Chains A and B, each alone.
Chain A
Amino acid sequence: MANRLDNQSLKYTGKVQPKPGERDSKTGALLYPYLPSLALIEAVNLAIYLERPLLLKGEPGCGKTQLAQALTYELNLPFEAWHIKSTSQARDGLYTFDAVGRLRDAQLAAAGHMVKNEDIVLISNPETYVKLGPFGRAFLNQQRTIVLIDEIDKADIDFPNDLLLELDEKRFFIEETGQEVRSKTAPIVLITSNDEKDLPDAFLRRCLFHYVEFPDTDRLRGIICSVFPNSPQVLVEHAVTRFEVLRKTMQEDKGKAGKKVSTSELIDWFKILQRHSLDETIAQLKTKLPFPGILLKSREDQIRYVDQHRER
């Protein structure tokens, strides 16, 4: 019952933004505002209400990973991040069992180095060596935790299949101790994927899906203005226009296949642009592409888009 009340009260509006200069309490990193689209806000609220994971796909740099941090900031809930590597196993997200540590302690105890009685009790109890992973911690938390599974398509194909029971019934079984861990509250799971490999159907069925589109001109301007609130409007206009022209040309040339300039690159680029003098920068924006190394990441792209503009 308490869960249902919780669900109804938790709503993501996308309007609560950190103030400029605010830092994260745990890591100390600078916090930036995140402006989601309406469809994304709807999808997040659906995922929170229906207690299903939300799968996010989109171009690299469109802000899939950042959504989790923004959501944590607004709802003020605990946050667990699990960044998947190609060697990740599903079990590591739930718990890890330090078998080697237990062997070592047993050896030391047998050799007589550990003499305290309570240590021996600890060693004989396998629960001492169980370390919970992000999901495990989320399950045991009293509040609903936001769990981010980042870049799930990097892992092996069995990886999403191994997580099915945990996502569905919200419980898992620790084999070494025989314990069963049930979740008291359903975690809010956000999963990001770069779409390099396909995910199995049984996994997709349990998730809600949202494709993070590239923002339109107004939203781009809004993003720049909110991240850099003190920059002159004229510069924002010119920079965004130049960026969109470049992106459109890349879209025509490459279609869906190649890498196009993304939102995060735009933010980095603007950070440099606003440091220099205003008139000079605007003049440069009109004639050529200043600081191309921030936007264009291959020699081909640089030849095509920087020099081409110079010829015009």
Chain B
Amino acid sequence: MNVEELPLFELFTHLREAGLPLGVGEYQLVLRALQAEYGKSDRAALARLCKTLWVKSNEDERIFDYHFEQVVGPIYATQVSSTNANTDSERSERSEGFNIRRYLIFGTAILGMGILVFGPYWRMPSSTVQQGNNTNTSIDVGDSDAGDIPKGMVTNAGGNTNAEGVTNAEESDEDKSTQEDDDNSKSDEEKSRNRPIVWSLVGVSALTAVLLLIRQLRKRRDTRTDLTKEEETGPTLPAELTQQMEDEIEVVKAVRRVFNRKDDLTSHLFQTTSDYLPLSRRQMKQSWRRLRRLVREGPATELDLEATIKHIGQQGILLKPVFVPRRINRTELLILVDQDGSMVPFHSLAHRMVETVLQGSRLAKAEIYYFHNCPNEHLYQDPNHLIAETVHQVLFFLRPQYTGVLIISDAGAARGGFNPERVELTAQFLDKLKQRIRHIVWLNPMPQPRWLGTTADEISYLVPMFELDRNGLDAAIKVLRGQASHH
């Protein structure tokens, strides 16, 4: 197993893009370790080596497993099947022949469609055109697998009533040819009336034909690859992972795995981005950590040397050193999350915000409450709106000089309507809050251009409202710290 052949750099760049905290030094470390004969014995040892050096948490481990399978997995698969070298070459030959066949079928399909589109323009020799089609089908008869598909298309060109031309492909050729002969005897007037119907039927059948072709080819290729990859099943995402919106591996990637890498036709249809939500966990945690107000509070344990010396200077003698309390972060945050209704698509985003605040920030206290559409009398401690507390109770236990309030809600921008009642209720609630707390900020998961003309627009004049992305969150944190001016 040669070190130079391993696509370690590719794996490294994939992981970096996925958000793992890696630098060039870490890559060099892996190289050093490989030179010292670590991780060379087999694939599992290499995976363990890279994990120890590059993976720093359990979430990152899942990302690493996925990318490792993508990048390094195929190489080990081909190396493992060294005994099946003959069958591999056979398969490659067959695949080449297969590709040629596929292009041939595709070409004839396009040719057939082209002729059908331009056929009616050459109305005079209409019968000869259909005879030309018949000769085309005779060439394709040689293709055993997909020969029925162009035949099906050609039969529909005759303007038959049955649109499922492909399913009829199993029928014998003689029936089709007799039906075409009958069509030739149809009057021209009928043909002109049926023409738009004919074209729509042709279009639909052509599309179905192409899709069935693709599916058939893929089925063949999957059966082939299943034979090669009997032991590499790849890391299957656990069921919880796909239900919760986990960082960086999102549903599109899981769908992408269904299509084989070599299938060029379909891999261009899907775009893969590295994250589904606009903010990654790491970015959120970094923003939360900026929310700190260090105040000296608590028991006096730290020695204040300058004050002690000044004290000695005043007293003339060292009686007692001067102690000050340590600086601790006194910021408290009250997060109000809009739940259900128009916020259902943003549940995962709000959930991620709440999770990172509780675990990754270093706030003195973070309280989470839920409401629906607009908060009025009651706030709920759980997302299902079961445990209620009045707003007065919630505000009572906060320390006003250190607390900030963050509201996560679309404020009507998701559905796009303007509701004056909602504006009124929200204004009343905000007034109640402003009596106790100075810094209130609103985060809207909808993008800013969508706010215009909705309730959100009105509310944005009452309270600083930002979009829920990296810049918006940073601006919101600035407001909560009291550093930004009211817009």
Binding site for B on A (CB under 8 A): 39, 42-43, 45-46, 49-50, 52, 55, 87, 99-100, 103-104, 107, 156-157, 197-198, 201-202, 204-205, 207-211
Contact = CB atoms under 8 A, between A and B. Distances in A.
Interface string B47-68: 0110111011110010000000
11 contacts: A42-B48, A42-B52, A46-B53, A50-B32, A103-B312, A103-B318, A197-B360, A204-B21, A204-B57, A209-B51, A210-B52
B29 interface: yes
B17 to A, nearest CB: 16
Nearest to B58: A211
Of A52, A104, A156, A198, chain B has the most CB atoms within 10 Å of the CB of: A198
B33 A46 contact: yes
B38 interface: yes
A100 B303 contact: yes
Interface in B335-392: 359-360, 362
Contacts of A87: 301, 326
A50 B305 contact: no
Nearest to A196: B359
Given A55-B56, A204-B57, 18 more contacts: A42-B45, A42-B49, A43-B48, A46-B38, A49-B36, A103-B308, A103-B309, A107-B318, A157-B289, A197-B360, A198-B359, A198-B360, A201-B282, A205-B22, A205-B25, A207-B56, A209-B51, A209-B55
Contacts of A104: 318
Interface residues of B, number: 37
B382 to A, nearest CB: 16
A244 to B, nearest CB: 22
Nearest to A209: B56
B73 interface: no
B482 interface: no
A123 to B, nearest CB: 14
B56 A45 contact: no
B33 A204 contact: no
A197 B363 CA distance: 11
Contacts of A49: 33, 36, 38
Contacts of B359: 197-198
Of A52, A204, A207, A209, chain B has the most CB atoms within 10 Å of the CB of: A209
B21 A50 contact: no
A52 B29 contact: yes
A68 to B, nearest CB: 17
A86 B289 CA distance: 18
B14 interface: no
A256 B29 CA distance: 32
Secondary structure call for the B interface:
helix
Contact of B362 (A39, A99, A197): A197
Contacts of B21: 201-202, 204-205
Contacts of B303: 99-100
Interface of B: 21-23, 25-26, 29, 32-33, 36, 38, 45, 48-49, 51-53, 55-58, 61, 282, 285, 289, 301, 303, 305, 308-309, 312, 317-318, 321, 326, 359-360, 362
A204 B57 CA distance: 9
A65 B57 CA distance: 19
Contacts of B22: 205
Nearest to B312: A103
Contacts of B26: 205
B173 to A, nearest CB: 63
B308 A43 contact: no
A109 to B, nearest CB: 12
Of B22, B56, B305, chain A has the most CB atoms within 10 Å of the CB of: B56
Contacts of A157: 289, 362
A103 B53 contact: no
A45 to B, nearest CB: 7
A100 B321 CA distance: 7
Contact of A42 (B23, B38, B317): B38
Given A201-B21, A209-B52, A209-B57, A107 B38 contact: no
A14 B219 CA distance: 50
Contacts of A39: 48
A297 to B, nearest CB: 23
Please provide the 6 A-B residue pairs with the shortest distance between their CB atoms, ordered closest to farther.
A201-B21, A204-B56, A198-B360, A209-B56, A43-B52, A205-B21
B120 to A, nearest CB: 66
A51 B376 CA distance: 59
A43 B32 CA distance: 14
A174 B321 CA distance: 22
Contacts of B38: 42, 45-46, 49
Contacts of A198: 285, 359-360
A210 B36 CA distance: 20
Nearest to B32: A50
Given A87-B301, A205-B26, A50 B56 contact: no
Contacts of B33: 46, 49-50
A205 B19 CA distance: 12
Given A42-B38, A42-B52, A87-B301, A103 B57 contact: no
Nearest to B281: A198
B318 A208 contact: no
Contacts of A205: 21-23, 25-26, 56
A173 B285 CA distance: 31
